[in-house]
Amino acid sequence: MPESTPVAQERRLVTELPGPRSAELMQRKHSAVAPGVGTTMPVFAARAGGGIVVDVDGNHLIDLGSGIAVTTVGNSAPRVVEAVREQAGAFTHTCFMVTPYEGYVAVAEALNRLTPGDHEKRTALFNSGAEAVENAVKIARSYTRKQAVVVFDHAYHGRTNLTMAMTAKNMPYKHGFGPFAGEVYRAPLSYPFRDDKSVDGQAAARRALDVVDKQVGAESLAALVIEPIQGEGGFIEPAPGFLPALAEWCRANGVVFVADEVQTGFARTGDLFACDREGVVPDLTVTAKGIAGGLPLSAVTGRAGIMSAPHVGGLGGTYGGNPLACAAALAAIETIESDGLVARARGIERLMLDRLRRIQADDDRVGDVRGRGAMIAVELVRPRSTEPDPALAREVATAAHQQGVITLTCGTYGNVLRFLPPLTISDALLAEGLDVVAAALGSTR
Ligand SMILES: *Cc1c(COP(=O)(O)O)cnc(C)c1O
């Protein structure tokens, strides 16, 4: 198939899954790749675009995962491809810390403009979400000259040593990998589906801050780090008022408020950033995943005074803000702005919530349907209870995979089906993908 032929926007299965080419590649994977690196599906990708991933056997799969919230502007998005191609022909790397280049500065300017708050900001670029979270903590410690970090139940911040300590879930992220970094404390979250109905956002914030006061104390606390909507932890959207109350407490107590927008950022939630919904202005905003159309890039953006605390040379890395990734990020941002993708995410939200709520009305194992924009989840439980049913989530996901729909699971209890379609998916494909999920759920009765 010539490279320029667009990927046909239809689900089409031409073999059993996995097909023979994928099965052969999976054998090679088993012999060559460390088994600790698992895969959700047993098929290998060949091409992708719009709302479709094509595997090496020619099967066309509906993409409800975006490579875990990364290809928000679509796979091989035209502006991204063009920008990377042009940059690759000019130069691929010099190291910004050796001979700097304009792309890095332009990405920093864009992030300073787009992230919540219109105060003066500075940005530093890195490679992965975890690396950016680590750097946000370094910057907060350097600025406050304090050490402790507060994170939340169900949090996910990455797989490096410090971010493993910050991540809540043992299996698979931490098990056997300790000892972990110290001075990390965990506070209770607002989790409307599981909280008592009397616990509104304000009450949940008081509950969390009480734990922080008792176990850490603001005078030792450098940063409070929170995902405005939790990702791996189960797409948990805190009750209204929770985030503003935490941000206000941080401001009053000399604690740096860090929003980990790695999964929620760049139009994913129907706002450019999830913090925008309640007008929360973080001191530092951490971004990655959706930032660069699939190229590895991450950033810490925040108040100029805080960002300027570390000494010259204290921040950086060989590849941080790689020129190809910067070119891709500028193209991805232009795509979000020019193609109205924030509004598109809200359209996807309406379609998904409507369909999933109709499924919920007919199925008492669907405990909760929640989320914003193109970040929507279904929490599966034992009928008419809140008792998690991870086996059901696995079964439904596997059945959907067999029918050519890429879906992911998440949640501390592993009982959440999550949907993260690229914003370039058509309504028709999205509806068909959800039909397949509904049928998969129905088949488990
Ligand atoms: C994925 C994720 C990370 C880690 O990002 P990597 O690029 O995988 O290191 C951190 N925080 C959140 C909220 C994430 O979803």
Ligand 1 center–CA 165 separation, angstroms: 14
| Residue of 164, 263, 264 to test ligand 1 pocket, by largest number of atoms within 8 Å of CB | 263
Please state, in angstroms and rounded to a whole number, the distance separating the CA atoms of residues 341 and 266: 9
Nearest to 182 by CA among 141, 214, 213: 141
Write out pLDDT tens, residues 9-29: 999 999 999 999 999 999 999
Please state, in angstroms and rounded to a whole number, the distance separating the CA atoms of residues 297 and 281: 22
- How many of the other CB atoms lie within 10 Å of CB of 323? 22
Residue 149 in this model has a pLDDT that exceeds 70: yes
Write out pLDDT tens, residues 236-292: 999 999 999 999 999 999 999 999 999 999 999 999 999 999 999 999 999 999 999
Residue type, 223: A
Query: Quick one: tokens of 95?
Result: 């190291």
Nearest 5°: the CA angle 344, 275, 112 is 90
HEC per residue, the chain? CCCCCCCCCCCECCCCCCCHHHHHHHHHHHHHCCCCCCCCCCCCEEEEECCEEEECCCCEEEECCHHHHCCCCCCCCHHHHHHHHHHHHHCCCCCCCCCCCHHHHHHHHHHHHHCCCCCCEEEEEECCHHHHHHHHHHHHHHHHCCCEEEEECCCCCCCCHHHHHHCCCCCCCCCCCCCCCCCEEEECCCCCCCCCCCCCHHHHHHHHHHHHHHHCCHHHEEEEEECCCCCCCCCCCCCCCHHHHHHHHHHHCCCEEEEECCCCCCCCCCCCCHHHHHCCCCCEEEECHHHHCCCCCEEEEEEHHHHCCCCCCCCCCCCCCCHHHHHHHHHHHHHHHHCCHHHHHHHHHHHHHHHHHHHHHHCCCEEEEEEECCEEEEEEECCCCCCECHHHHHHHHHHHHHCCEECEEECCCCCEEEECCCCCCCHHHHHHHHHHHHHHHHCCC
Which region, left, alpha or beta, applies to residue 54 given φ > 0 means left and ψ of -120 to 50 means alpha?
A: beta
> Cβ(79) to ligand 1 under 6 A?
no
CA 296 to ligand 1: nearest atom: 7
| Domains of the chain, CATH where assigned | 20-76+340-442 (3.90.1150.10), 80-338 (3.40.640.10)
pLDDT on residue 155: 98
Write out pLDDT tens, residues 168-183: 999 999 999 999 999 9
CA 288 to ligand 1: nearest atom: 7
pLDDT on residue 5: 80
Residue 412 in this model has a pLDDT that exceeds 50: yes
| Residue of 237, 261, 289, 418 to test ligand 1 pocket, by largest number of atoms within 8 Å of CB | 289
pLDDT on residue 4: 65
> Cβ(133) to ligand 1 under 6 A?
yes
pLDDT mean across residues, the chain: 97
CA 160 to ligand 1: nearest atom: 9
- How many of the other CB atoms lie within 10 Å of CB of 402? 14
Query: Quick one: tokens of 356?
Result: 């999933």
> Cβ(127) to ligand 1 under 6 A?
no
Query: Quick one: tokens of 82?
Result: 């063009």
Residue 1 in this model has a pLDDT that exceeds 60: no
- How many of the other CB atoms lie within 10 Å of CB of 194? 17
* Long-range contacts at 308-312 (CB < 8 A, ≥ 24 apart): 308/122, 309/139, 309/142, 309/143, 310/138, 310/139, 310/142, 311/142
Write out pLDDT tens, residues 374-392: 999 999 999 999 999 999 9
Write out pLDDT tens, residues 290-313: 999 999 999 999 999 999 999 999
Q: Whose CA is nearest to atom 8 of ligand 1?
A: 129
Ligand 1 center–CA 130 separation, angstroms: 6
114 band by pLDDT with thresholds 50, 70 and 90 = very high
CA 298 to ligand 1: nearest atom: 7
Residue 14: exposure state from Cβ atoms within 10 A (0-12, 13-18, ≥19) = exposed
| Residue of 135, 157, 173 to test ligand 1 pocket, by largest number of atoms within 8 Å of CB | 157
C-beta separation of 201 from 245 below 8 A: yes
Residue type, 61: L
CA 158 to ligand 1: nearest atom: 4
CA 227 to ligand 1: nearest atom: 13
Mean pLDDT of 108-135: 98
Please state, in angstroms and rounded to a whole number, the distance separating the CA atoms of residues 296 and 322: 8
